Chain A
Amino acid sequence: MTGQREERTTPAVRPYVITRGRSGAASPELPWETLVVAVAADPPAGPSGLQPEHRRILGHCQGLLSVAEIAAHLGQPPSVVQVLLGDLVDWGLITTRPPVPAAERTDVTMLRKVLHGLESRL
């Protein structure tokens, strides 16, 4: 078996155009599991920088969803979606719920909660 299904080489043009050349590498503050939600049901007419891609994202965040889910639904790499979500955060159009912070990830109480959550699914 080859790795074909998992690896693809594509021209970088489209993501480059969508983000106007900005790289997602500058957005480590929005990890893939960050949850986001639109502030309003209908995005306002302005600001002028709002592109169709921004509106499509807003359409997908009418409830809480992760950055990864939004990227998958849009068919765009998360690195592109992170840049566009960063714009929407700056414009006050979405709010974010950051991942469980570092101190809690090794906290026994939090981990037990995960354990019990999984056990209750058996």
Chain B
Amino acid sequence: MVSKAASDQPVVPHDAAQPGAGGGPDPEQHYVRSSVAGAAKILVVGPLGVGKTTLIGAVSEIKPLSTEAVMSQAGARVDRGGERTKTTTTVALDFGRITIDGELVLYLFGTPGQQRFLPAWRELARGALGALALVDTRDLEASFDALGHLEDLGLPFAVAVNAFPGSPDHGEQRLREALDLLPQTPLVVCDAREYRSSVQALIALVSHLINAAEPT
């Protein structure tokens, strides 16, 4: 007999030792609140080392988790009758979670921006509200692939400059030109290690999404 009553109660998992939750999980934090009706997602994109995992870790209510996406490239598919020698290329994607209110949670997926990882974006980008593109001003060109791909996908985005020690200050106008940003695309400076700064970068993105959605 299947009992439905138990499903809405937060229950401590049978397997109490959750990998990735250092010092034992807080069952209150481990599960999404049972009142939540559904989730939304935002992508955090940018080249390796730009601070994606750091930003997600700063704002997430759970310790950032990592999962391996299988890239759906030619030959990578695991088909019926597939040969044992076949290999699949996987991409590590970090993600975190923010409870918005009793009805909604937001997931942040860190998506590497290098050209060869772009196939992994397709599934993730589908259904995303938008993206926060992280930029390191010491290497602007490293961000071009990610920005170009967001434009190709038609995914609205905001740009956050993650300030590192010794980062050159190009000035906003020159930075906009170098990155070829539309005038309405938000450009903010953030410190991905800081909670408030990272939340403010997300706020800049969501404000932009509201502007884009509002009939003018």
The residues in B between 64 and 120 inclusive whose CB is less than 8 angstroms from any CB of A are: 65-70, 72, 77-82, 84-92, 95, 97-101, 104-107, 109, 112, 114, 116-117
B181 within 8 A of A: no
Question: In the complex, which residues of chain B have a beta carbon less than 8 angstroms from the beta carbon of A106?
Answer: 209, 212-213
A27: min CB distance to chain B, Å = 10
The reply to whether B106 and A63 contact each other, CB–CB distance below 8 Å, is: no
The reply to whether A99 and B92 contact each other, CB–CB distance below 8 Å, is: no
Question: A38–B89 Cα gap in the complex (Å)?
Answer: 31
Question: In the complex, which residues of chain A have a beta carbon less than 8 angstroms from the beta carbon of B95?
Answer: 32, 68, 72
The residues in A between 69 and 122 inclusive whose CB is less than 8 angstroms from any CB of B are: 69, 71-73, 75, 77-79, 92-93, 95, 97-102, 105-108, 110-115, 117-119, 121-122
B6 within 8 A of A: yes
Among A13, A97, A99, A118, which residue has its beta carbon within 8 angstroms of that of B127? A99
Among B30, B40, B92, find the residue whose CB has the most chain A CB atoms closer than 10 A.
B40
B86: min CB distance to chain A, Å = 5
B62: min CB distance to chain A, Å = 8
The reply to whether B69 and A111 contact each other, CB–CB distance below 8 Å, is: no
B75: min CB distance to chain A, Å = 10
The reply to whether A95 and B7 contact each other, CB–CB distance below 8 Å, is: yes
The reply to whether A118 and B70 contact each other, CB–CB distance below 8 Å, is: no
B60: min CB distance to chain A, Å = 11
Question: A102–B19 Cα gap in the complex (Å)?
Answer: 33
B174 within 8 A of A: no
The reply to whether A115 and B213 contact each other, CB–CB distance below 8 Å, is: no
A44 within 8 A of B: yes
The reply to whether A105 and B11 contact each other, CB–CB distance below 8 Å, is: no
SS class, residues of chain A in contact with chain B: mixed
Among B15, B40, B68, B210, find the residue whose CB has the most chain A CB atoms closer than 10 A.
B68
B3 within 8 A of A: yes
Total interface residues on A, using CB and 8 Å?
Answer: 72
The reply to whether A63 and B10 contact each other, CB–CB distance below 8 Å, is: yes
B124 within 8 A of A: yes
The reply to whether B104 and A115 contact each other, CB–CB distance below 8 Å, is: no
The reply to whether A10 and B78 contact each other, CB–CB distance below 8 Å, is: no
The reply to whether A79 and B70 contact each other, CB–CB distance below 8 Å, is: yes
The residues in A between 1 and 24 inclusive whose CB is less than 8 angstroms from any CB of B are: 1, 3, 5-13, 15-16, 19, 21-24
Among B13, B106, B117, B203, which residue has its beta carbon within 8 angstroms of that of A6? B117
Question: A73–B18 Cα gap in the complex (Å)?
Answer: 7
Interface of A toward B, CB cutoff 8 Å: 1, 3, 5-13, 15-16, 19, 21-25, 28, 31-35, 37-41, 44, 56, 59-60, 62-66, 68-69, 71-73, 75, 77-79, 92-93, 95, 97-102, 105-108, 110-115, 117-119, 121-122
